Amino acid sequence: MKSKKIIVVGSTNMDMVVKTDHIPAPGETVLSGAFFMNPGGKGANQAVAISRLGGEVVFITKLGNDIFGKQFSRLFKEEGIDTSYLISDEKLPSGVALITVDKAGENSIVVASGANAQLNPEDIKNALAEIVDAAFLLVQLEIPMHTVEFVIDYAYRHNIRIILNPAPANNLSADLLSKVDLLTPNEKEASDISGIKVNSIESAYEAARIICSKGVKKVVVTMGAMGAAVCEAGNCYLVPSSEVTAVDSTAAGDVFNGALVVALSEDEDLKAAVTFACEAAAISVTRMGAQSSIPVRNEVIAQKLHQKKTSSE
C-alpha cells in the first residue's frame, strides 16, 4: 500500500513583523506599537501546518548556517517534521521576511530570500527516492523556478499527485501547468495566470475555468473571508469561510494549503478537503504571526462542531 506521505519543497524565513494602524504608502513613516519575530516562510509554514493537522510530512528546504538556521532545524524536529533533507548553505544567510500588518489584519511582505534562492535541483536529488514513495508533493514559488520545474517534472513522471501554490505570483509555463493536479492561487495570482481580473465569485469561476483549460486538472481560488472558489471537471462552486474577526492574515494561505493536502491524503473528496482547509485558515487569521497562528487538528474539529451547532440553532 502506498504511503500517505506528503513532501513539501519550499522556503524557510524568519518573519520580522510590525503591527501598525495602516500599511505605509511610499515615502510615509508610520510609528508602530508592536514588533516580534516568528518562524515563517511559505514552505515551512505549510510543512508545520501539515504536521499539526495530522499529516506525515517530509520537508526539503535550504537554511543558512546561522543562528536562524539552527533554530529552524530544532523547531522542525519539535513539530514532528521529517528533517532528513534540510540543507545548510555555508555562504548565504537564512531567509528573512519583513512584514507589516494593519489593524484589519491585511499585510504587506518583503522577502530577502537568502539561502532559499540557492535551493537547486542538485539539492533535491538525495530526496528523489523519498518523493517516489510519497502520495503528494506540495510546492510554492519562494524558491528558484528551475527547482520548482525539476521537482514537479520528477513527481509527475512518477505519478505523484502535485499541488502547486503559485505564490508569490510568477510566470508559469503551459508545460508546468499541465503537470499540476491542483493549483491553489489567491485572487491576484488567479488574475495573473488567467488574464481575468478576479474581484467576485463569478470572476473567480471564470478565471479557474481558463486555468483549467491550460491543463491544470483542478483549481481552488482562495478568496479570504468569502472562502474558496473550486473548479473541477467543469463544475465550479463556492466553499464559504467561517465568520471570524481577523487580526493577521500572514500565513492564512499556507495554513489553507497544508490543511487541504492533509485532508486529501486522508481520501477526503475535494469539497470536504477545501471545507477543512477554510476552517483551519479561519482560525489562523484570528492570531498574530505565521507559524504561531497555525492551529492543531483538535482546534479545527472543535470549530467545525461549533459551526454545525450554531447553524442548527
Active site residues: 254
Pairing of strands 218-222, 228-232: antiparallel
Phi/psi of residue 284, nearest 5 degrees: -65, -35
CA distance 155 to 78: 28
Judge contact between 292 and 251, C-beta under 8 A. no
For residue 168, say if its preceding peptide bond is cis, omega within 30 degrees of 0: yes
Q: What grid cell was written down for 110?
A: 518583503
CA distance 166 to 164: 6
Q: What grid cell was written down for 271?
A: 469539497
Locate cell 482562495: which residue?
A: 222
2 CB neighbour count, 10 Å cutoff: 9
Q: What grid cell was written down for 310?
A: 450554531
CA distance 123 to 45: 20
CA distance 251 to 293: 7
